[in-house]
Chain A
Amino acid sequence: MFNEMMMNDEVREPYRALVDWMEASGPEVLQQKRLEAETLFRKIGITFSVYGEGGDPERLIPFDLIPRIFTANEWRKIERGVKQRARALNTFLYDVYHNAEIIKAGIVPADLVFRNAAFEPAMIGIDPPRKVYSHIVGVDVVRVGPDDFYVLEDNCRTPSGVSYMLENREIMMRMFPELFSKLRIEPVESYPDMLHKTLKSIAPRKCDREPNIVVLTPGAMNSAYYEHSFLADQMGVELVEGQDLFVSEGRVFMRTTQGPARVDVIYRRIDDAYIDPLCFRPDSVLGVPGLMNVYRSGGVAICSAPGAGVADDKAIYTYVPDMIRFYLGQEPILNNVPTWKCANPDDLKYVLENLGDLVVKEVHGSGGYGMLVGPASTKEEQATYAERIKADPNDFIAQPTLALSACPTFVESGVAPRHVDFRPFCLVGDDIRLTPGGLTRVAMREGSLVVNSSQGGGVKDTWIMAD
């Protein structure tokens, strides 16, 4: 296992200043800082709630004080790799909703795309502004060695977590001003401005003025509500709910104290199925009736475009390296994790025989739900899971259990290594932009590889050192 901080009993270069500081301060000071940080989070109201568990709808996500640090060189590789992926994924989306060249070329199977639950027939033939479908691509990257990075999955719909990237940094700067003044850490605070620029650049065809941008949230009960309000506030745009919007004469309006005001760009944090009851789920009260018609006629831009999810499906994931070669004529900079597709009989056989060593996931699942982590499971769990796979092999993929890198983390017994992953947020509009930073998630339980916040994972600040 790769330890982010230690190599051959020596502190790795990017962590040296931090370790010196920690040793000089002593454990009491660190413990004190921990308590301060928790109080700050509670006070600001940064919360994350978990679906289906009841209890406190405003749970705090555990925040770990010890940052995860990348050198400028490491970051450059991640940056190039993530931008390359974001470009290929968007090109793929345009392709599958138009001529489907990649399918005609026999690279991606037609069924996988057209029969995919995330494929949206209503999007066929629509040209979204700048041909961009996924404007915010969250790429989950894991590390297994000094120079070995793998992409675990892509998130093309509405990846969440960017507010933690920004708030974690705020808290860290309040906690450790001396470290920030001494070290050269790349700032992340420009993200909201870049997001605003990106959204402005995708104004719809009919928009003939400075576009009016809104963030559309399902409401205060949503687990990511804090992030929705945070982003709207940071960009200085209205945070709206479905009930605040309506369609009239081919345009979208919001209800204001002065009457209707036109809306041009909607950054929606509502799933496809709910955005327009006339086009998708008729029982949705979260969306805006008639929205898709306006979208189709160029009266409004929707970010991300409906149907963008077909590119981040776990079955499509395995083809992303091929997409990069096909559309961009380049070799992938970041590798995929080798993946067995249970839809494929040989792969299925291998997966069933090696369940104890593999991580098996549902193709459409997310948030770490419904997966089997082989080495951490009992024989009975494996047997039950095997039955589920056999019942519907198309729904499952499997990957080797990667030795995710570990980063020192505060735990009950002191400081100990815990596994981490990393999600940078790539913005795609008139340009492809990437803030030097991202969200580092950490599995708080010893040995656990599941970093999802819904499964008890925590977060860390991520430092990219400037040259």
Chain B
Amino acid sequence: MLSRTADNLFWLSRYVERAENMARLMEMGYRMALMPSAGDGNRSEWASVLSASGCAQGYDPEMPLRQAEVTDYLIFNRDNSSSILNCFENARANARAMRTAITAEMWEALNNALMELRRTPMHNLAKTDLPEFIDWVKRQGALFRGATDSTILRDDGYDFIRLGTFIERADNTARLLDVKYYVLLPETSMVGDGVDNYQWTTVLRAASSLRAFHWVYRDDYSPYRIAHFLILNPFSPRSLAHCVEQITNHLEHLARHYGKRGAVHSQAVEIYSLLTQSQMEEIFAQGLHEFLSDFLMRSQSLSSAIAETYYFGGQ
């Protein structure tokens, strides 16, 4: 497979995943804003959303941190490379640059998403009915993944698509937790406090994991449980452990397919063992923030190693 094509596939799926994660983040902000104020006038949910999005630097400091302004920035801003509009534009541009490497169904899913988003009704919807727009974005991601899952050859192209998805997802889950880590810290938690409880559940909600969490831990919203679910639980589809497991599998598949193994493989295995062998207690003892920062650094370096190993930048 052409290196440029692999590069495009990798980024294509990253952008689709990113658009969806942006939508989930906004969903979290929206839900938090529906909560009665904690009493001290602390209404910082949209500031949290912005910082968890990873694109706070581009936000005009003069602008108020309210729903209308923040969502406009995260959905439509052309200068924000991670805005949902740009994510879809970039995903489609990547797809168009290698039309032959994806199936007609995948192309149609992406093409329709962008066409609809550019068309006025969807545009207006994003401004008037945020929850419905968020559902629409999630549906586009699901359509694309579904089309991918049911139509594409299970060759190296599929591996690069999946690598992009899980690198992006792990990155997002880690950043989401990092922004909210203070509400999960045991010492700041007041058991039974309605607002905190609600904040924790919104973290799960932003990861679309609230229902799944119930099935595993019932109503035990302790910080340990929540952090465990999103970091170490291999059954949770957005946990770091699950993402890295998938990354390791796909790298392994590539190694067998190409008959070549490199530093990138040992790097992935190293992160994987770190996640399978850690206990939540240790992580909290070392510092959740430090743990997450370390993870983000490792995942960034893994992403570069993938690019290098498969010659994304030419050879």
Contact = CB atoms under 8 A, between A and B. Distances in A.
A353 interface: no
A257 B98 contact: no
A238 B100 contact: yes
Contacts of B215: none
B258 A257 contact: yes
Residue in A229, A240, A257 whose Cβ sees the most chain B Cβ within 10 Å: A257
Given A42-B115, A257-B156, A257-B310, A243 B4 contact: yes
A244 B311 CA distance: 11
A145 interface: no
B3 interface: yes
Interface string A214-244: 0000011000011001101100001111011
Most A-side CB within 10 Å, residue of B3, B96, B100, B115? B100
Interface in B7-60: none
Contacts of A391: none
Contacts of B160: 257
Given A42-B115, A43-B108, A243-B314, A255 B100 contact: no
Interface string A236-262: 001111011000000000111111100
Given A220-B96, A229-B100, A256 B2 contact: yes
Contact of A256 (B3, B96, B99, B108): B3
A254 B96 CA distance: 20
B111 A45 contact: yes
Contacts of A241: 4
Task: Tell me what chain B mostly uses at the interface: helix, strand, loop, or mixed.
Answer: helix
A244 B7 CA distance: 12
B315 interface: yes
Contacts of B107: 45
Contacts of A44: 104, 108
Interface in B299-315: 310-311, 314-315
B1 interface: yes
B124 interface: no
Contact of B1 (A220, A257, A260): A257
Contacts of B6: 257
A229 B99 contact: yes
Contacts of B314: 243, 255
B111 A240 contact: no
Given A43-B111, A43-B112, A259 B97 contact: no
B2 A238 contact: yes
Contacts of B156: 257
Interface in B86-117: 93, 96-100, 104, 107-108, 111-112, 115
Interface residues of A, number: 25
Given A255-B3, A257-B6, A219 B97 contact: yes
Contact of A233 (B3, B100, B311): B100
Contacts of B5: 238
B33 to A, nearest CB: 38
B154 interface: no
Given A44-B104, A259-B311, A244 B2 contact: yes
Contacts of B98: 229, 239
A220 B97 CA distance: 6
B204 to A, nearest CB: 37
B99 A244 contact: no
A230 B112 CA distance: 19
Contacts of A256: 1-3, 311
Interface in A13-57: 42-45
A244 B4 contact: yes
B260 interface: yes
Contact of A239 (B99, B111, B260, B315): B99
Nearest to A234: B100
Contacts of A230: 99
B205 to A, nearest CB: 34
Given A42-B115, A43-B111, A45-B111, A255 B315 contact: yes
Nearest to A233: B100
Given A45-B96, A45-B111, A257-B1, 8 more contacts: A44-B108, A219-B97, A220-B96, A230-B99, A239-B99, A239-B100, A241-B4, A259-B311
Leading 10 A-B pairs by shortest Cβ distance = A229-B99, A257-B310, A233-B100, A255-B3, A257-B6, A220-B97, A232-B100, A239-B100, A220-B96, A257-B1
16 contacts: A42-B115, A44-B104, A45-B107, A220-B97, A229-B98, A230-B99, A232-B100, A238-B100, A239-B100, A240-B2, A244-B4, A257-B156, A257-B258, A257-B310, A258-B258, A259-B315
Interface of A: 42-45, 219-220, 225-226, 229-230, 232-233, 238-241, 243-244, 254-260
